[in-house]
Amino acid sequence: MSNKVNLKPRAMMYPAPAVIASAYDEDGNADACTLAFATMCSHKPPALMIAINSTAKRKTLKSILERKEFAVGFPTIDQVAETDFIGIASGYDVNKIEKVGFTTTKAQNVNAPIINEMKVSVECKVMNIAEVGSHTQITGEIVNIQADEDVIGEKGKIDLKLLNPIVYDDVLYDYFKVGDKIADAFNVGAKFRKWMLRLGKKR
Residues found near ligand FMN in the complex (CB under 6 A)? 18, 31, 33-37, 51-53, 57-60, 84, 87-92, 168
Q: How far is the CB of 81 from ligand FMN (least distance, A)?
A: 11
Cβ contacts of 36 within 8 Å, gap of 6 or more: 16, 17, 18, 19, 168, 170
Report d(CA 107, CA 125) in Å as an integer: 12
In this chain, which residue has its C-beta nearest to ligand FMN? 87
Q: How far is the CB of 127 from ligand FMN (least distance, A)?
A: 18
75 versus 123: smaller Cβ distance to ligand FMN: 75
157 half-sphere exposure, CB direction, 13 A CA radius:
2
35 versus 151: smaller Cβ distance to ligand FMN: 35
Q: How far is the CB of 85 from ligand FMN (least distance, A)?
A: 8
Report d(CA 92, CA 115) in Å as an integer: 19
75 half-sphere exposure, CB direction, 13 A CA radius:
30
Q: How far is the CB of 162 from ligand FMN (least distance, A)?
A: 22
59 versus 125: smaller Cβ distance to ligand FMN: 59
34 versus 121: smaller Cβ distance to ligand FMN: 34
Report d(CA 97, CA 107) in Å as an integer: 16
